Structure 1
């Protein structure tokens, strides 16, 4: 794999932004590292999102994502969005516009990343799990699959319990429910649509403080009949769990057959 520490200017944010990118490299003699490639000019791409207290470096620092992705032959884009909850903030930058519109266009202008829906996926942990689901449920025409690891998936409930943490993002947290920032609302919209529907993966440890939130979202997706794969096991909100589960996510992704 090639590893790129990329810094660039964002029109959406009005400041310089950062992302880590890993790209497939079909090496033959690299010791201890399996490599794969689809033999295409542009790579299947996973947008891998960080949590509330982290940044774009965290997946590389706390997991072996480079090694896991190498054997599958996919690119991984890991952007920084601060504490934005992947939202155009009421009192801050437009991070939703950045992550959903500007970032994919910029990344594809820099690197050979596929544009086709069936070759684009999103995943994340905690706040990033929310962001990944929000990307795929808002833009099911752009993302074939999304995965949430211990995600903050019931954001209207979470915000009402901690209003001071969210007022800079949403202003009035009572407006979240039933809005474009509510995953339950977005799931219902996808269900009602005649358009494409992304495959969803959700997991959460049974000792995680977000476990009940995840159960509510799981049950709602099942009621709607969405294509949801759900896994749970003993586990807390910590990196040992996420390092294990991101491997499951990568194996679950609906990657095309290699040529």
Structure 2
């Protein structure tokens, strides 16, 4: 595998920004790890961070590079600060950045496939929200999305951090039914007659403070007959759980071989 720390300029944000990228490589002499890569452009997983983290966190807290080494899968890990993957009411347009600018730039820098069947997105906590938001907003672009302990309905954000939530989303009334409302996006995806819904994977530990919120979203998605796989087991909001479950996500992804 190749690991690249990439600093670049975002025209959307007017900022210098960063992403970490893992690229497939055919190798046989790396001790304890064998790498695989197909010819041509690589299938890609956009792997999103949580509220208090950044683009480096998946490499620092898990063995993601080792887990993907045999899969021929590129992994793009961008930084979006505490934006909730939204075009923030306070100004910075992180949704436009993550949904439009970032994929185009990443594909201009690296040999990444733009085919729907080769593109996936996953994340934890705030990143789980971002992953489902991308997939449900653009079902024609993503084959599958995974949420690990996702902050999917953002109720806790409005309750626990109302001032920050207001800077990101505005009021609860403004949030409801908007492009940031996953419940509304799920309904839109379920009624989309042009593009089939991406496959969805959702997991949450039963002791996680977001557990009830995850159950509510699961029930909503199932009521809409969205193709969702849900798993739960004992666990809290912590990296031991996410390190375990990202391995499960990689097993579940429909990566073409």
Is the TM value for this pair above 0.5? yes
Q: Does 1:199 align with 2:203?
A: no
Inter-partner Cα distance in structure 2 for 1:135 and 1:40: 27
**Residues 192-232 of structure 1: per-residue CA shift (max 9 Å, x gap):** 11122100000000000000000000001111101001110
> Which residue pairs with 2:138 in the alignment?
139
> Which residue pairs with 1:158 in the alignment?
156
Q: Does 1:122 align with 2:121?
A: yes
Q: Is 1:2–1:22's contact at 8 Å kept on the other side of the alignment? A: yes
1:160 is displaced (CA, Å) by 3.3
> Which residue pairs with 1:178 in the alignment?
177
Q: Is 1:117–1:141's contact at 8 Å kept on the other side of the alignment? A: yes
> Which residue pairs with 1:68 in the alignment?
67
The number of aligned residues is 255
1:71 is displaced (CA, Å) by 1.4
**Residues 135-155 of structure 1: per-residue CA shift (max 9 Å, x gap):** 000000000000000000012
Inter-partner Cα distance in structure 2 for 1:212 and 1:40: 44
**Residues 56-77 of structure 1: per-residue CA shift (max 9 Å, x gap):** 0000000000000111110000
1:178 is displaced (CA, Å) by 1.4
Does the residue aligned with 2:165 lie in a helix, a strand or coil? helix
After the TM superposition, which segments of 4 or more aligned residues of structure 1 sit over 4 Å from their partners?
A: none
Inter-partner Cα distance in structure 2 for 1:228 and 1:172: 29
Inter-partner Cα distance in structure 2 for 1:33 and 1:47: 22
> Which residue pairs with 1:238 in the alignment?
238
Structure 2 length as normaliser, TM-score? 0.97
Q: Does 1:13 align with 2:13?
A: yes
**Residues 139-174 of structure 1: per-residue CA shift (max 9 Å, x gap):** 00000000000000012x234313222111112232
Inter-partner Cα distance in structure 1 for 2:156 and 2:172: 10
> Which residue pairs with 2:224 in the alignment?
224
Does the residue aligned with 2:213 lie in a helix, a strand or coil? helix
Inter-partner Cα distance in structure 1 for 2:110 and 2:91: 29
Inter-partner Cα distance in structure 2 for 1:108 and 1:236: 35
**Residues 93-146 of structure 1: per-residue CA shift (max 9 Å, x gap):** 100000000000000000000000000000000000000000000000000000
Structure 2 unaligned residues grouped into runs of 5+: none
Q: Is 1:159–1:173's contact at 8 Å kept on the other side of the alignment? A: no
Does the residue aligned with 1:246 lie in a helix, a strand or coil? helix
Does the residue aligned with 2:12 lie in a helix, a strand or coil? coil
Structure 1 unaligned residues grouped into runs of 5+: none
> Which residue pairs with 1:57 in the alignment?
56
Structure 1 length as normaliser, TM-score? 0.97
RMSD (CA atoms): 0.8
Aligned pair in 2 of structure 1 residues 182, 71: CA closer, same or farther (>3 Å)? same
